[in-house]
A and B are shown apart, each in its own frame.
Chain A
C-alpha cells in the first residue's frame, strides 16, 4: 500500500510517556502528513534517560503497536529522539582552503569544511549527535547559505554541534534495537520540537522554543533562520510534582492529580486564603491551601525560566530574540504559564501548536506531541536527500501479506 521509503516514524521515549508518530511523505509533492500516532505511559525512564530497559521496552512496544494499528503500516525504522542532562551544544567554526585552480567552491569543499568543523575536542567518552549547519563565510563575506558555485580561496562554516555521552546514547538505541526496530538516526528532542512548532519566518525573526517535558526541559534558540543555541535542563514536570508532594505532604500520584486539577504557574490574588478539598476513593479527604500549592509550583517554574534566561544571557544570544518565546511539551499546559514566562523573559510568550504539518489536525494539535512530530519532520528532510532503493518495495509487498495484527 505505502511505499515504505515514504513512511517515517518518530519515536520519543519520554519520562512520562512514550510517543510514536507515523508520517507519510507524498510521492507527488513531498508534503508530509501524519497518519498515525501511538502513545503509552512511560516506565523505567528518568530525566529523559532509560534506567530500566525492560520496562521501557514494554512501553515502547505498546506505543509502536498502537501507532502501527492507527496508521495501518508496519514499523521497521524509527528516528529516535534523545535527551538528557549529559548533552551539550556549542557553536564551532570549520575552515577549508579552496585549492582548485578556478577557486570555485564545489560540493566537496563544503563537505570538507563541515567535516573540519565537526572535528572538535569533545570529551573522549562523548559522541557528536549532530552538527547543524549555520552560515558559510566565503572570503570574509558573512551569512551565505549556499556557497556552491561561488568563488573564493577560503571557505568557513559555522556549525552548532551537539554531543552527549556515547554509552548513555547507546543505551537508548540498544533498547529500541531490542524490539527489532532499526534506528535511522538519533535527534535531539529540543531540535525536533522546534522543527515541529516553528515557521520559517519565526526562525528568521529569532525565536526561543522551550519544550517543557516531564523529566527534562529543552530549549532551542533560532535567529536569522539558524540555530544559535541549544540547551537542556534535567528539570521538568516531575520536579513540580515532587515539590508539591513534599510541600503539601501528599503521595506523588495525588500530587500529580492536584497539579493537573488545581495547578497554576502564577499566585493570583483570588488564590489567597482559598483552599481546595481533595477527595479520593479509599482515602480521607483533605483540604489544601491553594496559595501554598501555587507558590510551590510558581517557584519551580519561575526557576526553570530563570535558569534558561541566565544561560542565554551568558551565551549573549538573548538579543536575537525578536519573535518571542514558544512553549511546547506537557508543561506548557499549566495555566498561566505564558504569563509567568512573559514576566521572566519580558517578551511575548505563546503555547505553540504543531501546525506546520497536515493530517489528523485535532489530535495532533497538542503541545505534547511536538517532539514526536518534529522527529518525523526531521526524518522527512533526510529522506528527501536519500535515493530510493528498489528492494524495499518487494519487502513491503511481502510485508503487507504477513502483516502483524
Chain B
C-alpha cells in the first residue's frame, strides 16, 4: 500500500539550502491533509491553516491560523458556495498577503467542490504569486457520487486555479474507486484520498528539498505541471531489500493513479525522482529509468536522484507525469469505473445525471467563469437546492463529421491537434 508513512525524517542540517516554503491548508479537507504531514518531517516549512469555520481550525497544529469570517456568515462557513469563499478571500486580501510574505514557494493544499477550497484557492494563488512566491497547488476533486453540482464546481474551480498557479497536481478521488471494495467505508475512502495527496506533497517536498546528485529544479517541475490543457498524474512508491529497484517500479505501476502504467504511455513529460541511501547502485538507477522510459516512449523523461544516509536502504521513487487531457475516451472510462463505487457507497441523491462536460476544452466556459465576470456574490443557498438544468454531452470536443475515427497509437486524430497538444489560444 502507498499509505505507509514515510519514516526517515528530512535532514535538518541543511536548512540554508532549502527554499523557504509555506504550506497552506485550505478549508476543512485541506487542513486534514496538512495534518497528515508531520511537523518534524517538514521542518523548516511554515504551516498555515485557513478556514471559514472555527471548528476546522480547532483541530490543527499549524503554526499560523486564519479564520475568514464576516458577520453575514454567522459562523456557518461558506455553505458550499465558492462565490462566498471568493468574496471572503477578496475582502481579506491584506491578511492573506501578510501570510504569504517571505515565502519563496507556497504549497496550497485543498479539496475542490466545496465553498472554501474552490472559492479561496484561486484568490490565494493569485496573491501568493503577486508576492513573489512560486505557487504549487495540490488539490483533490470529489467523487462522482458526491453529486454533479459539486463536481461541476470543482471543475470550474480547477480551471480557475490552474490559471493562477505555477503548477497544479490534481488527485481525482474517482481514481480511488479501483482500490475500494464493496466493504470500504466512506470514511476510509476519503481518508485514502487524503493520504495519497499527502504522499504526493511529501514526494515533491523531498524532490525539492534534497539537493540531489542529479538535480531536479523547480523549473523542471513547473514545466511538467504548467500545461494548461493537461492533467498531471503522480505516484509514489518505496521499497527496500535486495530487489528493491524492481519492487519499487512494480509498486509504482500498481499505484491507483497509474493503472498498470498504461496512463504513462500517453504522457508528454515524465519526471522521475529517486531517493535512496548512499548504497544506490548505478544498476538500480538504470533499471528504474529504463523500465519507466519503456512505458512512455513518446515522453520527455527527466530523472533526478538524491542520496542521503538518512534514507537507509529504503528506495523511494516519485513520478510526476503530465498527459494531454483527452475527450471521450477518458470520460467513458470514468463512467465505467463509477458504477462499483456508486453501489459501494450509499449514493447521495443526485439531482442530474453526472454527464456534465468537463470544461477543459471549452475556452468559452472558462472565460465566463473568470472571477471578474462571475455571478454576483448574492447567490443564496436556496439556489443550490433547485434542480440544475442537465446538459447533454453533445459537443465536448468537435470531431467534425468524420465518421469512423482515426485512432493512431491510442490517440483520436480527429480531435483538433491544438487541443490534444494543449496549445493555448489566449
Contacts and interface: CB of A to CB of B under 8 A. Distances in A.
Interface of A: 46-47, 51, 85, 233-235, 238-239, 242-243, 245-247, 252, 289, 292, 295-296, 299-300, 302-303, 307
Interface string B399-416: 111111010100001101
Interface in B286-310: none
Of A238, A243, A307, the most chain B CB neighbours within 10 A belong to: A243
Contacts of A303: 413, 417, 421
Contact of A238 (B402, B421, B425): B402
Nearest to A248: B425
Nearest to B424: A295
Contact of A299 (B403, B404, B417): B417
Contacts of B398: 242, 245-246
Given A234-B413, A239-B413, A307-B408, A299 B400 contact: no
Contacts of A239: 400, 402, 413-414, 416
B418 A299 contact: yes
B392 interface: no
A82 B419 CA distance: 31
B413 A292 contact: no
Given A234-B406, A235-B413, A300 B418 contact: yes
B406 A85 contact: yes
B425 A247 contact: yes
Contacts of B59: none
Which 8 pairs show the lowest CB-CB distances between chains A and B?
A242-B400, A243-B416, A246-B398, A234-B406, A299-B417, A300-B417, A299-B418, A303-B417
Nearest to B397: A246
B413 A295 contact: no
B403 to A, nearest CB: 5
Interface string B141-173: 000000000000000000000000000000000
B114 to A, nearest CB: 33
A44 to B, nearest CB: 11
Contact of A247 (B406, B413, B416): B416
B380 to A, nearest CB: 34
B416 A296 contact: yes
Contacts of B404: 46-47, 85
Contacts of A247: 416, 418, 425
A234 B403 CA distance: 11
A299 B419 CA distance: 9
A235 B418 contact: no
29 contacts: A46-B403, A47-B404, A47-B406, A233-B406, A233-B413, A235-B406, A235-B413, A235-B414, A238-B400, A239-B400, A239-B414, A239-B416, A242-B399, A242-B416, A243-B416, A243-B418, A245-B398, A246-B400, A246-B416, A246-B419, A247-B425, A289-B425, A292-B425, A295-B418, A296-B416, A296-B417, A296-B418, A300-B416, A303-B417
Nearest to A51: B403
Contact of A46 (B399, B402, B423): B402
A233 B413 CA distance: 10
Given A243-B416, A247-B418, 12 more contacts: A46-B403, A238-B400, A238-B402, A239-B400, A239-B402, A242-B400, A296-B417, A296-B418, A299-B416, A300-B418, A303-B417, A307-B408
B423 A295 contact: yes
A307 B421 CA distance: 14
A164 to B, nearest CB: 14
Interface residues of B, number: 19
Nearest to A289: B425
Q: Please classify the interface of chain B as helix (H, G, I), strand (E, B), loop, or mixed, using the class held by over half of its residues.
A: loop
A239 B408 CA distance: 15
A238 B399 CA distance: 11
Interface in B353-405: 397-404
A51 B403 CA distance: 9
Given A85-B406, A234-B413, A46 B418 contact: no
Contact of A47 (B403, B416, B419): B403
Given A239-B413, A239-B414, A242-B416, A299 B423 contact: yes
Contacts of B403: 46-47, 51
Nearest to B421: A299
A303 B399 CA distance: 16
Contacts of A243: 416-418
Given A247-B416, A299-B418, A303-B417, A242 B425 contact: no
A314 to B, nearest CB: 10
B273 to A, nearest CB: 29
A116 to B, nearest CB: 33
A233 B402 CA distance: 14
A246 B398 CA distance: 6
Contacts of B423: 295-296, 299
Contacts of B406: 47, 85, 233-235
A47 B404 CA distance: 9
Contacts of B419: 246
Contacts of A295: 418, 423, 425
B267 to A, nearest CB: 17
A300 B400 CA distance: 14
B99 to A, nearest CB: 39
Contacts of A47: 402-404, 406
Nearest to A84: B404
A217 to B, nearest CB: 11
A237 to B, nearest CB: 12
Contacts of B408: 233, 307
A311 B404 CA distance: 22
Interface in B77-109: none
Nearest to B395: A246
Nearest to B403: A46
A307 B406 CA distance: 13
Contacts of B418: 243, 247, 295-296, 299-300
Contacts of A238: 400, 402
B18 to A, nearest CB: 40
Contacts of B401: 46
Contacts of B417: 243, 296, 299-300, 302-303
A276 to B, nearest CB: 15
Contacts of A300: 416-418
A46 B414 CA distance: 12
A362 B115 CA distance: 69
Nearest to A246: B398
Nearest to A300: B417
Contacts of A234: 406, 413
